[in-house]
Amino acid sequence: MTSLQTFALLSPEIVLVAAALVAFLGGAFAGIRHGWLVALIGILAALSLVGGQPGDGATVTSGGIRIDAFSTFVRWAVLGTGALLALVQSGDIFASAVSRGPGLHRGGTCEEAGTFLVMLAGLSLVGVAGDLVLLFIGLELVSIPTYVLLALKRTDARGQEAALKYFFLSLIASAVFLYGAATLYGIAGTTSLQGIATAIQSPAPVSSGMATVLLPVALGMTVVGAAFRLAAVPMHFYAPDVYEGTSPGNAAVLSTLPKLAGVVMLGRLLALGISAESETAGVGPAAVAHLDLFWQLTAVLAAVTMTVGNVMALWQNNLRRLLACSSIAHAGYLLVGIAVAAAAAATQAGQPLGDVAASDGRWTLALGGMTATLFYLATYMLPTAGIFGAIAYLGHRWPEWTATSGPRPPREEITSVGDLDGLASTNPVAAFAIALFVLSLAGIPPLPGFWGKLTLTVSALEVDWTSPVALGSRRTWFLSLAVILVLNAAIAAAYYLRIIAAMYFKSTKRGVQADGGLAGGLAMLACVALVILITIQPRSLLAAATRAGKTLTSPVPLATADLDTIPRP
């Protein structure tokens, strides 16, 4: 690999950064006012470049970069969501430029657009990182622009508080992750993920001290670092406060893109225990311990996270706090699939070598979890971006006011669930869109969220499904996890349906202004279209997720011909 080819592989990220520079400099010197247009063009250019990269099946490594189906899926998700979010963000900015009332923030159009582009570049780097250092740099390239984005809302006390809280807690999370990463380096003596995997999989006995002391530290801290990105327990506290304080556009960014980073981190960490060489399928005891600990940890975190998120959401009246709690709950769902993938990989690791016939069936199981998580992630990000797009589009509503009660008070930002009262009559399109998104998030068939929850539940039920249900057995664990998931989905319906009830069954005298700019509405409509598309044809997305999931967790490049049929349990 020449360095030129490496540059070619990184061309989407390079284009993003170049577009960011255009936005920064153009805004400052050339007086370009349409930063978000630059951002959109940059994102679309990067998307076209991703399309030209080797992705399906082929794995290309060059230095710290690793391009495979998984990283391609991540890039598509990053850039696709990024395009939608750019629309959401720009709609938000447009609103603040128009309405100059007190308490409304000013928009720094070009700065925000550039910062957002850098953030996308960082996230895309996380997807292709094959090295701990590159992974960390990518993560920081996500975090630092996020601080800036949050802090750009500097006229608003709540916005500042949100930015500060996010800043400090993110620093702690980064430090924790870095500590874990350093410990991994301590184990392997290299920062390359490939090298670390080789070290962990070495057939040396566990008692060498490495595993008993360093493995829990490395694993625990890296997973907790990823938990912050996912907004999962124990690093979930920031989400409600920060979402509430910031703009809908920023909340949309925070609730989608970092989750992607978290899933990538967990996926790469999980893959450390899986042999990348098909010929030497056996791994050492340390890798088995790694995988075992991994699934136990993620399963517990999943159960706690989704329960905490949902029960907290039940009490929320503030729309953005409610969505923050719901985003915590969804982080819990995402962890279920990762736990399943780890458990299945652990089963494989315990297999005798060379038993191809036996391992074939189990590998499909192993892939179920990661596939389900990636699929679920997509079905979660779309409606979430759509809801925030809708909120950004709706913008403000008129306060309660009659001609006799003095001068008309300024318009109020939409904050609480009650502000959506009667939306079905005042703005039926937005009400329908929000209802669609909310129903999808609640997992109502046949919307994408349902397919996502279905694949997750099925993948959890598939773990050890031939063995009997016994107390404390792994099957019982995952059976309980599936039950908890379903119960949580039922709890979540309560607060999701409250939004629909407000829109469709309540009336209001305070109309919604819909002054948030058309871009937000456009993002909303795009999400509606995509949600309906996935509803009708979930197979294409599922096939892409399956390819990505298999690439991450399987040593053998699998044929794609069998993706057309959904495997039965």
User: By the criterion CB under 8 A, which residues form the site for other proteins?
Assistant: 164-165, 168-169, 172-173, 176, 211-213, 215-217, 219-221, 223-224, 228, 233-235, 237-238, 240-241, 289, 293, 296-297, 307-308, 310-315, 491, 494, 564-568
Minimum distance from residue 59 beta carbon to other proteins (Å): 28
**Smallest separation (angstroms) from other proteins to the CB of 235:** 5
Which helix (H) or strand (E) is 546 found in, with range? Answer: helix 538-553
In the complex with other proteins, the residue whose CB is nearer, 189 or 209, is: 209
Q: Identify any residues that bridge with 416 across adjacent strands, giving them in sequence order.
A: 318
Of 329 and 420, nearer to other proteins (C-beta) is 329
Sign of the alpha-carbon dihedral angle for 199, 202, 204, 205? positive
Using the minimum distance from each CB to other proteins, give the nearer residue, 310 or 513. Answer: 310
Cα–Cα distance for residue pair 516/99, rounded to 1 Å? 10
| Alpha-carbon torsion angle 342, 228, 131, 286, nearest 10 | -40
Q: How far is the CB of 232 from other proteins (least distance, A)?
A: 10
Q: How far is the CB of 380 from other proteins (least distance, A)?
A: 21
CA distance 386 to 380: 10
Q: Name the packing angle between helices 193-200 and 157-188 (round to 10°).
A: 50
Least distance in angstroms from the C-beta of 314 to other proteins: 5
Is 185 exposed, middle or buried, given 0-12, 13-18 or 19+ CB atoms closer than 10 A? middle
Cβ distance to other proteins smaller for residue 5 or 317: 317
Give the residue with the Cβ less far from other proteins, 15 or 221: 221
3-state secondary structure of 425: helix
Write the secondary structure of 24-41 as one string of H (helix), E (strand) and C (coil): HHHHHHHCCCCHHHHHHH
Which lies closer to other proteins via its Cβ, residue 132 or residue 492?
492
CB of 174 vs other proteins, minimal distance in Å: 12
| CB nearer other proteins, residue 120 or residue 526 | 526
Closer residue to other proteins in complex, CB, 93/331: 331
Least CB distance from residue 236 to other proteins, whole Å?
A: 9
Is the dihedral angle over the CA atoms 484, 485, 487, 491 positive or is it negative? Answer: positive
SS3 state at 314 = helix
Residue 354, Cβ density class (10 Å: 0-12 exposed, 13-18 middle, ≥19 buried): exposed
Tell the residue number behind the tokens 């403000």, with chain if given: 396
**CA 243 from centre of chain:** 15
Beta carbon of residue 215, minimum distance to other proteins (angstroms, whole number): 7
For the chain, the farthest-separated pair of C-alpha atoms sits apart, in whole angstroms, at 85
